[in-house]
Structure 1
């Protein structure tokens, strides 16, 4: 039995960007959270834009996760997301920043103070 090769995209990923070299807005971070902004898609969506909007309709995904589901490079998905945000079909939220490291001496002093209360 022969193995079936994985399906290749019929349209190269760079065509999803419409031949542009920069998205319409500042590029999103890879962990930017995308979610649908309306129950109905914006009018006049191209096929790749519609696929992204339909992927995000049930819930939110990060830009990287959406790119993986669409089998597109993150940079091409960034273009699609920026277009949909401009059209009002998606909302984007910046990733939550990592918590800063706590000063170890402060924690040790707190533990010493709690131990002295016994």
Structure 2
């Protein structure tokens, strides 16, 4: 990542220079419920106050529906901290969140679903 994207908060060798809990002001419990497959998307409404660069990055990532797990991976933050950021943005109505429809209709042990996940993982590796 470049310095222009993350400012001075990221070092190529050391990684993030600010502890993840500092990003969420020490909070580790989100005010809204999210699981890793919850889909979030920007609503186009911007918070009235500036929340910080991590919130800006979240909004930029959420132009299209994206899972909580994907947002956490892009931010390089633990999922619990990412959920706090997302819940703050939902509170400001800058994000909408919903459960994915495809998984509501199928069983998590459905063979077709598991094979699709395996296929996707093999493509990534």
The residue number in structure 1 matching 2:26 is 19
The residue number in structure 2 matching 1:87 is 92
Structure 1 alignment gaps of length 5 or more = 102-118
Work out the CA distance in 2 between the residues paired with 1:65 and 1:7.
Answer: 22
Query: Greater relative contact order (Cα 8 A, min sep 6): structure 1 or 2?
Result: 1
The residue number in structure 2 matching 1:70 is 75
More helix by share: 2
Work out the CA distance in 2 between the residues paired with 1:55 and 1:84.
Answer: 13
Cα distance per residue 1:28-85 (max 9 Å; x no partner):
01100010111x522222221111011112x121000010011111111000000000
Larger radius of gyration: 1
When the two structures are aligned, how many residues end up with a matched partner?
95
Structure 1 stretches (4+) deviating beyond 4 angstroms? none
Contact persistence 2:43–2:96 (CA under 8 A)? yes
SS in 2 for 1:52: helix
Selected match of 2:57 from 47, 51, 58:
51
Contact persistence 1:41–1:50 (CA under 8 A)? no
